[in-house]
A and B are shown apart, each in its own frame.
Chain A
């Protein structure tokens, strides 16, 4: 079946460095992508989303890049801080369906070393 996956289950970076978290998707019909941050014991928090008519979108310290040719999504975090340590999930959706069709990846654990 179609799925959303992650290249790296864990990522460790030094404070102040930039972080890049990758996500591969296989459903060519997906046209909506979203990143969530989840701290231990808490619910996921929305970070940023992007629709397939764009290939880049920037937020505060975060950038999402979408490469539809290779079905790849990435989240870039600039000047990573200890508070960025968490599990990051990507999810994909198909606007031809309804919201419940968001499919979540398993997550990448980001650890920021002081």
Chain B
């Protein structure tokens, strides 16, 4: 069935370690996004990509990196520079955001990252 798949569902990071969260979509969407969610908070944008081989920083990009080598895939790496990585990470996709209209985001089921 079509949708967005995030893996793993739970991930643990040791101090000084980089970890990578996977996001794959088969919706043929051009745009993909990574959000961070902390308890009791709204979603905050980390990175987004509107087209393959191109991506932009969101509001809280420090300590994170992404790549967009394929349309279907948008992995997020949480680097050791991110000092407070414990959060729920959500990947989303949408049709190409036309400048004339906003379009709804489709979300994956999330990855809970915790620090050991």
Tally the A-B contacts, defined by beta carbons under 8 Å: 66
Which bucket holds chain B's interface residue count? 20 to 34
Listed stretches B13-21, B67-75, B76-84, B100-108; interface member: B100-108
Of B94, B108, B112, the residue contacting A99 (CB under 8 A) is B94
CB distance from B33 to the nearest CB of A (A): 7
- B43 to A99, Cβ gap below 8 A? no
- B45 at the binding interface (Cβ < 8 Å): yes
- B42 to A100, Cβ gap below 8 A? no
- A42 at the binding interface (Cβ < 8 Å): yes
- A41-B110, A43-B109 are contacts. A104–B104 as well, Cβ < 8 Å? no
- B58 at the binding interface (Cβ < 8 Å): yes
- A49 at the binding interface (Cβ < 8 Å): yes
Binary per-residue interface labels of chain A (47-69) against chain B in the complex, 1 for a CB within 8 Å, 0 otherwise: 00101000000000000000000
* Interfacial residues, chain B to chain A (CB-CB below 8 A): 4, 6, 31, 33, 40-43, 45, 48, 50, 56, 58, 90, 92, 94, 97, 99-110, 112
Beyond contacts A42-B109, A93-B102, A100-B33: 19 other A-B pairs, Cβ-Cβ < 8 A, are A32-B102, A34-B104, A41-B112, A43-B6, A43-B107, A43-B110, A44-B107, A46-B104, A46-B106, A89-B42, A99-B31, A99-B102, A100-B45, A100-B56, A100-B58, A104-B42, A104-B43, A105-B42, A106-B42
